[in-house]
A and B are shown apart, each in its own frame.
Chain A
């Protein structure tokens, strides 16, 4: 026990540049042992570069400089690669977002965790193995003995992240840097990983937590630094930043967290689409909700009844969807929530008739849908649009946006449902781009050169080309930063209001579904465990699983 412990991290005027341009402009940061400090900002704000620069790993073509950069009292500001190598893993551990890619898929988890022990300590192999088992037990890995023989591909997302954490804390480093440690994880898993990081912090490790999501960091950070364009624009204790933000940017980050924001309230600063309003900007939209009118409640637009779908697995069949019944009316949003593997996407595929149910039926607009053969379905296909988590994979990378959309417009014309039935496609493409809030010049760009939010807008524009009545959104915002997510959610809300679209909105994120949906269904292991009015389900959950999801869901801890 020393009287005044050295800070886990102490950095002054950290600058990082690539080529001629600086991306981090002089950051000061101190983290005491047992303290958790969060850096929050959008992608491209420089937060990940900062994290790597703190380990001397900003990249081969980068320039990093700092007045001083002390980790646990040792100044590494001018350290050579060799000196850095001696300290990485020993003084500081790093946890990256994607544990599937962050653990070598060809090596066992045990070997990956053993690496820092082998590199930095002279230990007999048996002692190393014993320590690996102890570490795995420490991070809450069930059955460590069999886990050490597994590879990252054989573990679930949460267990993988635990293994990665075990490798990062193998030498009990005074500083742990976690860059988006829970971003790809389900809420319940996310909650457990955050709890694990909190435990590590309580043992006296200084934790630097990096995220785009204020709600995630607000649970465990003592202090929050808001980063934008390579600068810290605001900092303070978590309470100060959340309750009394000084900067507009911070306010927009807070507003973008959808949890508990009522339906219709805008999440982003973008104004409501001018095409729809005549007069002052309303703060609360009033989406068309025919479902609330008993007169037209009779036929749902989409009706799934008693759907069951199984897949062959070695030694039997896996039931992905088990007796699922749902109905969705025009102009309404049905939220489908559940963790990965719960069968949500299979439901989406069944609704799109991309896969046939083992039993049960899908009806669209009162007509048989799933039982038809593909030729009979084709004239109706364009009435159902779909957008997915990763639009990039669904774009031909050599086509520019204009060609992608023109192709969709032509397809819709063949089916006879485009808004404009003849003439050149270019004006129609321009209208579509405008509707999703993209500049006309985007038509000339290739999908690769667009940001994640722009790509999702293009995907929405393409889905709208056929003037659909139903839009199936499968995790449409899961890959996006919260601020971009807010804009996309607002856009979907606008489009729904303009067109009277029905949305089947699938997400693992309760906050997003709560914000978007009129009705909600909670899925677990292929079954609907609870469904009903969104407000009711999320405020007074009737099923213990829903209650667990609600409790684990990140929200601003004010």
Chain B
């Protein structure tokens, strides 16, 4: 055993990773600031008086005194720029404010909803990966017909809108077959249809990417040399080509989670599931500005975290990436 080389390699890998992590954190802070700023000003463009919203929403019969009182309580009578910096200051201390409609701290509200939505998105992502890998593997190396069928399934499913898919799934599995509940019941069975609804279009999309890179990997000379060593078709996929095929799909998963969170707005509403998506929809309807800001910031944070995670996952799956940054 040469004492130096492996440890040395590990150390340089660690150093490069630390540098990268520092950059990513700085980037994440910038993104969150930008999101907070954009949301703050964009919300001012929504017609309607926040003070009205606080006092029971549009149509409430609040007195002028009550409105003035609320404006000064919430600092809404201050110039916009003062309100902006007050908001940034609160955010820095981790204070997301109090919901106008529910009069509860936004942080508590979101904490209660986050788990369900994350579970929904994560399960959908996992299912999408399983479906996509299965489809990509099945439809390659099996002749032209399988390949055309695979391609057709991918394009069709990738183009399916969530609301339509949800309606069809409910009609088939809840109404006609009565296998699964049409609304989220909080039981595992209630999770099935929402997860499937979110996963299927994503699976179609991921499978397209995976099949392309799988076909590409199967053309590589290392496949020939592996076969010449006696590797079986299954062994080739497990040990060689699937790994190559997953690389672009891993990079896409960060984006996919963001896509799933926005899909959750539709799916949670249709299946009447508690979650961030539904909370956001309600908050926008009620002009509950602190809740909207909170949800948007939280989604941005999840997005950033997921990007970091997929970056790390890509570097674990593809050692060449580690090597390049170390060089």
A residues apposed to B, CB below 8 Å:
52, 55, 57, 60, 85-90, 92-98, 101-107, 112, 115-116, 119-120, 143, 145-146, 149, 151, 153-154, 164, 167-168, 170, 313-314
Q: Is the CB of A314 within 8 A of B224?
A: no
Pairwise interchain contact A153-B320, C-beta atoms closer than 8 A: yes
B224 and A52 contact, CB distance less than 8 A? yes
A104–B240 contact, CB under 8 A? yes
Contacts of A52 in B (CB 8 A): 224
Q: Mark B1-28, 1 if CB is under 8 A from A, else 0.
A: 1100110010010000000000000000
Query: Across the interface, which residues of A come within 8 angstroms of B229, CB to CB?
Result: 88-89, 93, 115-116, 119, 167-168, 170
- Top 9 nearest A-B pairs (CB, nearest first) are A94-B228, A89-B230, A89-B229, A101-B221, A88-B230, A116-B229, A104-B222, A102-B221, A146-B5
Report if B239 contacts A (CB, 8 A): yes
| Residues in B neighbouring A164, C-beta threshold 8 A | 225
Min CB–CB distance A176 → chain B (angstroms): 11
Excluding A96-B221, A115-B226, 8 further A-B contacts by CB distance (< 8 Å) are A85-B231, A88-B227, A89-B229, A104-B240, A106-B243, A119-B231, A167-B229, A314-B12
List A contacts of B226 (CB < 8 A): 104, 112, 115
Chain B residue numbers with a CB within 8 Å of A101 are 220-222
CA distance A118 to B229 in the complex (A): 10
State the Cβ distance, A120 to closest chain B Cβ, in Å.
6
Within 8 A of A (CB), among B35-90: none
A164 to B240, CA, bound (A): 16
CB-CB nearest in chain B for A95: B225
A-contact bits for B224-259, CB 8 A (1 contact / 0 none) = 111111111001000110011000000000000000
20 intermolecular pairs with C-beta atoms under 8 Å apart: A57-B224, A57-B227, A86-B230, A93-B229, A94-B225, A94-B228, A97-B221, A101-B220, A101-B221, A103-B222, A106-B240, A106-B244, A106-B318, A107-B240, A116-B229, A119-B231, A146-B2, A146-B5, A151-B319, A168-B228
Question: Bound complex: CA of A98 vs CA of B219, how far in Å?
Answer: 13
B323 at the interface (CB under 8 A from A): yes
Report the Cα distance A277→B319, complex, angstroms: 59
The B interface, classified by DSSP as helix, strand, loop or mixed, is helix
Chain A: CB-nearest residue to B232: A85
Q: Is the CB of B222 within 8 A of A120?
A: no
* A314–B13 CA distance with the chains assembled, in angstroms: 13
Contact between A87 and B230, CB atoms less than 8 A apart: yes
Given contacts A106-B243, A106-B317, A90 and B221 within 8 Å (CB-CB): no
A313–B320 alpha-carbon span in the complex (Å): 17
Tell me if B103 is interfacial: C-beta within 8 Å of chain A.
no
By the criterion CB–CB under 8 Å, are A107 and B230 in contact?
no
**Is B225's CB under 8 angstroms from A96's CB?**
yes
Most chain A CB atoms below 10 A, which of B226, B230, B317: B230
Inter-chain contacts of A60 with B (CB < 8 A): 141
CB neighbours (8 Å) of B240 from chain A are 104, 106-107
Contacting pair A93 B228 (CB below 8 A)? yes
- For B318, the chain A residues whose CB sits under 8 A away are 106
User: How far is the CB of B223 from the nearest CB of chain A, in Å?
Assistant: 8
Residues of A near B323 (CB, < 8 A) are 151, 153-154
On whether the beta carbons of B222 and A119 are closer than 8 Å, the reply is: no
Q: In the assembly, what is the distance between CA of A86 and CA of B327, in Å?
A: 41
Smallest CB gap from B228: residue in A: A94
Chain B min CB distance to A101 (Å): 4
Least CB distance, B256 to chain A, in whole angstroms: 22
Question: How far is A313 from B243 in the complex, measured between Cα atoms in Å?
Answer: 30
Q: How far is the CA of A93 from the CA of B240 in the complex (A)?
A: 19
Inter-chain contact B230/A90, CB cutoff 8 Å: yes
B221–A115 CB distance below 8 A: no
In Å, the complex CA distance between A149 and B10 comes to 12
Query: What 1/0 mask marks residues of chain B from 306 to 327 whose CB sits below 8 Å from any chain A CB?
Result: 0000000000011110010011
Within the assembled complex, what's the spacing in Å between the Cα atoms of A374 and B9?
41
Cβ-defined contact, A103 with B225, below 8 A: yes
For A102, A106, A164, A314, the residue with the greatest tally of chain B CB atoms inside 10 Å of its CB is A106
Partner of A119, one of B6, B235, B319, B327: B235
Q: Which residues of B contact A153 (CB under 8 A)?
A: 320, 323
Q: Are B221 and A98 in contact (CB under 8 A)?
A: yes
Q: Which residues of B are found within 8 Å of A98, using beta-carbon distances?
A: 221
Q: Which residues of A contact B231 (CB under 8 A)?
A: 85, 115, 119
A-side contacts of B225, CB under 8 Å: 94-96, 102-103, 164, 167-168
Q: Which residues of B lie under 8 Å from residue A85 when comparing CB positions?
A: 230-232
What's the minimum C-beta distance from B234 to chain A, rounded to whole angstroms? 11
| Nearest neighbor of A146 in chain B, beta-carbon distance | B5
- State whether A120 touches B224 (Cβ < 8 A): no
Nearest residue, chain B, Cβ from A177: B228
Most buried by A among B226, B229, B230, B317: B229
